[in-house]
Structure 1
């Protein structure tokens, strides 16, 4: 992407103020790659789910000029199986091929407009059963943070709105830009979209001991072979206790987390260096180029060389 990408954020009645501001905050931190415009279906103020209303500078005409349209969530008391006619009319102005993104209950708007039929999607787990009963044509997965289905992306609760926006930036401009944005917003640079939503998971007890030391050691030594027993030893725990504590603290298993970190490091090297694939594999701890290819393809569906071509084309500088 070489031109400024226009993001239109559509605020509907009952919108959550925090999530409404996520696209502007995250995309706005890319320092010029995106233009974010917030609009309403009729240009008038809308009520939020809090004790105030908001006024935007733009109306529905903004949607027709957008490259990406984001639907933030709104109060569950306003959720219905049908979209208000004004919203339907506004969405009709969105050009074919425009990227559509929903956060939390924003998926109800896309589904009610028929834009998710036959697609994979997610929403907040609390309203998953209701969503499934109203929109049986949608392949709903309520157990993930976000789903990238090409030109339609859906995400779960509040924090996953940050995740999906960072994911979009990473797709458009590579990990360097996404990581910079994450640092500016003081949020984790990457959480796998397939990571489970935090459903009925108890908060681990606050103690001075945890798995953070082991994770830091692993990140500093990704190039070395390491077993779960090595990580457990750095946490001074038995293997069983370590796995349990790690999963409670991170939300995924140690083995999966380690593969994610190696893939992330490999992506960074593919984007920013001319190193051969086999050498990159060694630097991140994979057994060889074949192993890296398999893991990268499983994670994002492309080969290392195809990934490198994509992000060199997006402006990454070695």
Structure 2
């Protein structure tokens, strides 16, 4: 009798577990079929499939815990991709001959000191040991890169005493005369925006002798033939607005300052309004002749481009700066900036 009772209890327990199992299985299948149905609907409608929020990471950290540094400098390729006009006279790369700042052509086989200024776009996250690599190109666009040296800097968060940070290099120019372009490349393993890490300084100055004449090289570094288009503008960095603590950049409701993200977006909007590419054409009282202004190059092929600049007013005295930009033209007609130079013509 006792054994029969135990068997009945055991059977009842098994039935309860079996019922719960089938109930859970049914719920799981329902979720699975709903997910499959949603994915099929997206595919039929041509909608992208959902992706994990943070690089396939299963741990979702809230933004108030996880902060990422954003080392940056004046990065022409990134700024142009945002629709902004640029200059190739990089304000974050300075070249010194002793204590004197160099703004013209460099001498061959001569020692110089190069200083790179590094900023942080993050208000919250410092970056210890940001890599800074210095290299030079022969004067032009898409020419061969030659490493100079590398170092590291400790970068504080934006607005702190350690931002910006400075990296200094000693560089002796090659013995072969000519013009050289200096590039600075930043590296940081957890960079919030790695696209603003490459800056270039490429400037040449010539005395106008009716007209001022420049020449630089365009090289096709791709493995396929490419077409290039070259054009000039007169963009220059605007003067910085004064920092007045009592008058913040933007206001929210009433006198409340804008949050950081809203303020940053407001700055970008103003920059795009005031400094968009195409808003700084060569003025009518100047003549800029580029020969050739379009060209096709095979892989690893180079071509020299000549630029002649002349004022239409023969009485002009002073200096005028021009930027010459080189674009790659795709088969669809879209353009991608591949380099450029800043040229300054002077007339005493």
Q: Do Structure 1 and Structure 2 share a fold, with TM-score over 0.5?
A: no
| Structure with greater proportional helix content | 1
Which one has the largest radius of gyration?
2
Q: Higher strand proportion, which one?
A: 2
TM-score (normalizing by structure 1): 0.23
